[in-house]
């Protein structure tokens, strides 16, 4: 079994509700540090010359959060901090999650393409699939219309299938799923979660798809600008749902 020298860093912020290995925690911390390395110009992109948005032309330039602009720079900063040829960062080329959707929705769906992933190049070590990330910008409608699909996709890449050959899974689960929102606050995520009580052993489901146990492998990360610097906050999806239930 091949080994790898993991970054010797720790997350010190409160992480109740998570269930990660020490190796995963090191790489999650590295990912969060890479967000802080992104300059504000990539978070608040300035449209100085554009014709597709009449309001921008009228205002002679406007700032907006642009997912693609931010994601490319985040990938760049992440690769610098990772600084190794052993681990690969890219946009997922696509994987069939038939085993996942067959069990949950009784239908076969096509490939799923996360925004960013980190995995080990020869798949020969424990935790060889490390981080899978979905990115959303801060518009309320954008999050409302995409949060369910994105979170279910992340669970499909992170949760472990049953131990039988019929599951048809051809890759090991990712250690951590990250739902990254550019701007806003946790309330906008909490607002659009549809939670179903099971009233048994305190368990619940999100969107009738994500169990409370599976939610512990998902981190919701918010990044925004303050005084020219990127501010990063994060909570477990598990804690966000618990907060919603407790508030009601």
pTM listed for this prediction: 0.82
- Quick one: DSSP state of residue 160? P
- The residue whose two tokens read 């990772």 is 82
Which pLDDT does position 161 carry in this prediction? 67
* Phi-psi category of residue 70: left, alpha or beta, with phi > 0 → left and psi -120 to 50 → alpha: alpha
Question: Considering the domain boundaries, does residue 114 fall inside one?
Answer: yes
DSSP secondary structure string for all residues of 207-246:
TTTEETTGGGGEEEEEEEEETTEEEEEEEEHHHHHHHHHH
Question: Considering the domain boundaries, does residue 104 fall inside one?
Answer: yes
Question: Considering the domain boundaries, does residue 2 fall inside one?
Answer: no
Question: Considering the domain boundaries, does residue 180 fall inside one?
Answer: yes
Distance CA 172, CA 123 (A): 9
Question: Considering the domain boundaries, does residue 3 fall inside one?
Answer: no
Domain count, the chain: 1
Distance CA 146, CA 135 (A): 10
Which pLDDT does position 24 carry in this prediction? 85
Q: Give the range of the structural domain holding residue 132, as residue numbers without chain letter.
A: 22-247
Which pLDDT does position 134 carry in this prediction? 94
Question: Considering the domain boundaries, does residue 4 fall inside one?
Answer: no
> pLDDT by residue (tens digit) across 190-241?
888 999 887 667 789 999 889 998 998 999 999 888 887 888 999 899 999 9
Question: Considering the domain boundaries, does residue 125 fall inside one?
Answer: yes
Question: Considering the domain boundaries, does residue 11 fall inside one?
Answer: no
Structure tokens belonging to residue 93: 């080329």
Which of the residues in the chain have pLDDT under 50?
1-4, 6, 8-14, 49, 51, 56-65, 163-164
């Amino acid at each position: 079994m091949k080994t790898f020298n993991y970054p010797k860093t720790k997350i010190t912020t409160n992480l109740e509700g998570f269930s990660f290995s020490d190796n995963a925690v090191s790489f999650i911390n590295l990912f969060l540090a890479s967000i802080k390395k992104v300059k504000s110009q990539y978070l608040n992109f300035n449209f100085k010359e554009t014709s597709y948005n009449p309001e921008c032309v009228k205002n002679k330039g406007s700032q907006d959060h642009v997912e693609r602009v931010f994601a490319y720079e985040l990938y760049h900063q992440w690769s610098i901090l990772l600084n190794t040829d052993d681990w690969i960062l890219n946009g997922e080329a696509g994987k069939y999650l038939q085993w996942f959707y067959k069990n949950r929705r009784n239908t076969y769906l096509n490939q799923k393409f996360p925004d960013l992933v980190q995995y080990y190049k020869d798949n020969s070590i424990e935790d060889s699939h490390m981080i899978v990330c979905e990115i959303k910008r801060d518009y309320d409608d954008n999050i409302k219309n995409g949060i369910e699909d994105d979170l279910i996709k992340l669970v499909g890449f992170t949760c472990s299938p049953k131990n039988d050959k019929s599951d048809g899974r051809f890759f090991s689960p990712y250690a951590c799923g990250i739902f990254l929102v550019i701007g806003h606050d946790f309330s906008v995520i909490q607002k659009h979660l549809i939670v179903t009580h099971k009233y048994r052993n305190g368990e619940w489901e999100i969107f009738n798809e994500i169990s409370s146990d599976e939610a512990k492998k998902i981190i919701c990360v918010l990044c925004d600008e303050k005084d020219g610097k990127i501010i990063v906050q994060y909570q477990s999806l598990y804690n966000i749902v618990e907060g919603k239930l407790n508030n009601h």
